[in-house]
């Protein structure tokens, strides 16, 4: 497992710096900038760092962990730890609201997410599983209008 981290100051300009840093670390771990996984992870990082900076006003630490566990070698975990003990407060944004969608977005994009107490503060984390494209398989008989997919996969099973 590889872990990298970045200290983030309590300034909204730090969110852009965190995104740039994350892109370079993703590329260094073999996740190319144009992969859907990279875009998803950068968006998740942007949301979690923004929440830490805007809602706590405290410095934070962004961590990325690559290759969790033997069975989850393709899982990337993102953690943002801050010194504010207040738990995250998911909100429901109304149609015209300009905020309040961050954790809802995290919930929709991440395979798993949650938070835990860490020291005097907390850590909010999410995990995204890297899809492994299966090798060639024997196609099943073609049915008009039904795509032929590798064995065991269903239409719509590929997500970013």
Give pLDDT, residue 109: 95
Q: Class of 2-129 per CATH?
A: alpha beta
pLDDT for the residue numbered 95: 74
pLDDT at residue number 67: 81
- How much is the pLDDT for 55? 87
Three-state SS string across 98-153, please? CCCCHHHHHHHHCCEEEEEEECCEEEEEEEEECCCCCCCCCCCCCECCECCCCCCC
Short-list 122, 128, 121, 123, CA closest to 107: 128
Please identify every stretch of the chain with a pLDDT value under 50, giving residue numbers as ranges. Answer: 70-71, 133-160
pLDDT value, residue 140: 42
> Are 79 and 60 spatial neighbours (Cβ–Cβ below 8 Å)?
no
Q: CA 62, 43, 155 angle in degrees (round to 5)?
A: 130
User: pTM for the whole thing?
Assistant: 0.76
pLDDT at 84: 93
DSSP one-letter string for 39-90:
HHHHHHHHHHHHHHHHHH-S-EEEEEEES-SSTTTTEEEEEEEES--SPP--
Tell me the pairing of strands 60-66 and 112-118. unpaired
């Amino acid at each position: 497992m590889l872990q990298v981290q970045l200290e983030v100051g309590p300034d909204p300009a730090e969110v852009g710096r965190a995104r740039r840093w994350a892109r370079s670390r993703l590329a260094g771990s073999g996740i190319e900038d144009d992969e859907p996984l990279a875009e998803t992870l950068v968006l998740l990082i942007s949301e979690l760092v923004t929440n830490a900076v805007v809602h706590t006003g405290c410095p934070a630490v962004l961590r990325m962990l690559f290759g969790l566990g033997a069975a989850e070698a393709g899982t990337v975990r993102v953690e943002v730890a801050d010194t504010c003990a207040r738990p995250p407060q998911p909100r429901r944004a109304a149609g015209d609201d300009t905020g309040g969608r961050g954790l809802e977005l995290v919930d929709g994009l991440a395979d798993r997410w949650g938070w835990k107490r860490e020291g005097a503060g907390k850590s909010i984390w999410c995990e995204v599983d890297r899809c492994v494209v299966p090798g060639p398989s024997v196609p099943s008989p073609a049915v008009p209008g039904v795509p032929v997919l590798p064995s065991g996969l269903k239409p719509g099973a590929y997500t970013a």
